[in-house]
Structure 1
């Protein structure tokens, strides 16, 4: 195994960078910061600054490599234990054959258009989160939750925003119970299509975060032709929509992230 223990940042001034590994089980970049840890200025890092690898640049790509935060797993309700493995804040980022390992807040899908193909993403609480406009295709989403957990927390703030998370032909495995999505903001948007769910989905399937502001009336949580022993629970709340093909279609192709302009057909 090639294990690199350091904290890495790709600044906005360095576009078109590629991280190429020898396989996600072979090449790993890892660090161990938590939100409650002090930064160089003595103040707490907080969540977004904990990432083992942070990418602020556009046109980033990563292939066959893993990113890990080795901080211990928190129990639900513990404060300051958010620990991101990766933060992507640049536009037009592509990942294939990559692994993302952590517990709470593993993958900060912060901002921009992103495409994840054949990736493995592991965590326990809100372990894919942010306001990215992202497609997850043929990925394994693996829960390590013990008492309770959640997969995706998305932060769209208005109906006009084009952000959201689209999961297509993925596998949701691991331990539970978990919510498959949470309304991190008023207009959170998350859609699962053609996705397999282990029997780990919590009753109701989805969570409106703080039970205030009637987010269940403004969030867009969709399901299209999902399957597996946990699939029925994914549709277990009245405000998670069972989509028809016309409604689901925008979330099924790389056009969701305008990928025709920057993702090669061989990569999609």
Structure 2
């Protein structure tokens, strides 16, 4: 889980665009006419320089845009498509290069699976880039409304690539994969920074942007008063209302006792119809389901609900520490599809602390939402792997880094329960993996409570427990308006051993209460730790941090939109 340092300097587009760039000409010695040293006109060169201003790999960015800049009538959408298409080309090249790497399954099963995972993750990246190109087909106004979505997708594309190499242990295979991905990672890194500054880029094209008080913004705010995440539309509101009222008729029923159509959840998912449109609803009756479940990407919009926490339980014990299974594959329940919803279920990994990395629930599907669920494990319990995720009224149990990932995640009104780790271990509640400062991702705990379980309680002061540590250099973790138990260490945050991530990560606290909330003795080692104001904290509420409502204003499920 080590990480290379990624530094992203911030450059103002508006300052760059004000710079006057001259056209260089070369005079031939024989007196012939002047020859242009540039392949495009002055206004286009200014545009390219401005758009590439926020990127780290400027030469690669400018080379990407030179062709489109030759077209004097090119629009903002044309430039965005060029950025994404260039990344897509290189990710496809990386996928092809990775496909040529062969690892003997019998001699090295772990790295064989890790390299196969790389192909799988890069394939997801290709899908997301293709979706981004489609998203850029509308007008400039549509582009603005989808800025957060495009930023989230580009951030995920980058994370797919780094996750690919993170899990390969053999240096030879790791180096081979990394060398094939150099161009892809650079161009995707650039795309993240460009999408983060998309509003400023649109101003260069004189696109009139809606203000904060626009009709769209008002509709979003009104819709969200009901308390569900942005992307929940009228259909989802009605669906959950029916579920709450006991009137929901599922597509399939799973029951251990044979009273349903299927006895396992996996069988129910296999019944997902080809080319199905709409919401596929699965009811899992009370019982303990000992199976590893994967919702693959070809099965979007699944709503799975149980009979309640501790009644409907999905359990397993796959782990890295004993079984030498990669972290991704230890998940008892994994979702890889967009639009996944779960309610009233427990997801469990029973490997215990000796299993080390042992995931109970993993999601890399966009617009994931879970309500009234329990996630039970030790190390690495809840893996918000990629993209937008929302958890509400849940219970999350664990020891080391037990809420971790690279997605855009908000956990709200939930109970976070810390367990007793192995002897000589510490507890860290969170471990965020943001890698690019302007990326959309990070972790927010809002209106949560952090408490010890019954086994930890008698020895809670003997075992160091921290709010979190930075898994990656630009990790972002915000704990706000939450209740922190007395066992939280006064320094609050822990350094990731062997790294300098604490110099570059961002750890914020706001409005917390309880004996562990006193920030007077928080560690000075974290250069960007800050107790933020209410105005600053508002940026990390569901309404802003998971800003899908800009492009899907019709919403619907329980959430607290703002701070209060």
The two structures have a TM-score, normalised by structure 1, of: 0.90
Runs of 4+ in 1 over 6 A off after TM superposition: none
**Mapped partners of 1:216, 1:210: distance in 2:** 10
Alignment deviations for residues 163-211 of structure 1 (CA, whole Å, 9 cap, x no partner): 0001111000014431111100000000011000111112411023125
Alignment deviations for residues 57-116 of structure 1 (CA, whole Å, 9 cap, x no partner): 110010011100011223xxxxx6211001111110000000000001101110010010
Matches within 5 A, 1:154-169: 154-169=432-447
2:544 is aligned with 1:255: yes
Which secondary structure does the structure 2 equivalent of 1:246 belong to? helix
2:364 is aligned with 1:89: yes
**Mapped partners of 2:542, 2:302: distance in 1:** 25
Q: 2:406 aligns with which of 131, 143, 151?
A: 131
2:345 is aligned with 1:60: no
Q: CA deviation at 1:32?
A: 0.7
Residue in structure 2 matched with residue 178 of structure 1 by the alignment: 465
Which secondary structure does the structure 2 equivalent of 1:82 belong to? coil
**Mapped partners of 1:22, 1:263: distance in 2:** 28
Asked whether the equivalents of residues 29 and 68 of structure 1 are also in contact (C-alpha less than 8 Å), the reply is yes
Structure 1: give runs of 5+ residues left out of the alignment: 39-43, 75-79
Asked whether the equivalents of residues 106 and 122 of structure 1 are also in contact (C-alpha less than 8 Å), the reply is yes
More divergent stretch after superposition (144-153 vs 105-114): 144-153
Q: 2:312 aligns with which of 12, 22, 27?
A: 27
**Mapped partners of 1:2, 1:263: distance in 2:** 36
**Mapped partners of 2:484, 2:520: distance in 1:** 8
Q: CA deviation at 1:132?
A: 1.1
Q: 1:101 aligns with which of 355, 360, 376?
A: 376
Asked whether the equivalents of residues 135 and 254 of structure 1 are also in contact (C-alpha less than 8 Å), the reply is no
Asked whether the equivalents of residues 32 and 52 of structure 1 are also in contact (C-alpha less than 8 Å), the reply is yes
Which secondary structure does the structure 2 equivalent of 1:249 belong to? helix
Which secondary structure does the structure 1 equivalent of 2:450 belong to? strand
Structure 2: give runs of 5+ residues left out of the alignment: 1-285, 560-564
> CA separation of 1:234/1:163 partners in 2, compared to 1, >3 Å: closer, same or farther?
farther
**Mapped partners of 1:103, 1:37: distance in 2:** 14
2:346 is aligned with 1:71: no
Residue in structure 2 matched with residue 190 of structure 1 by the alignment: 477
**Mapped partners of 1:126, 1:259: distance in 2:** 27
Residue in structure 1 matched with residue 514 of structure 2 by the alignment: 228
Greater fraction strand: 1
Asked whether the equivalents of residues 356 and 378 of structure 2 are also in contact (C-alpha less than 8 Å), the reply is no
Asked whether the equivalents of residues 490 and 518 of structure 2 are also in contact (C-alpha less than 8 Å), the reply is no
Alignment deviations for residues 213-257 of structure 1 (CA, whole Å, 9 cap, x no partner): 3x2231110000101011115961233210012211111233311
The two structures have a TM-score, normalised by structure 2, of: 0.44
Which secondary structure does the structure 2 equivalent of 1:205 belong to? coil
Q: CA deviation at 1:160?
A: 1.6
Higher gyration radius (CA): 2
Which secondary structure does the structure 1 equivalent of 2:518 belong to? helix
**Mapped partners of 1:106, 1:256: distance in 2:** 23
Aligned length: 257
Q: CA deviation at 1:263?
A: 8.5
Residue in structure 1 matched with residue 558 of structure 2 by the alignment: 267
**Mapped partners of 2:334, 2:417: distance in 1:** 22
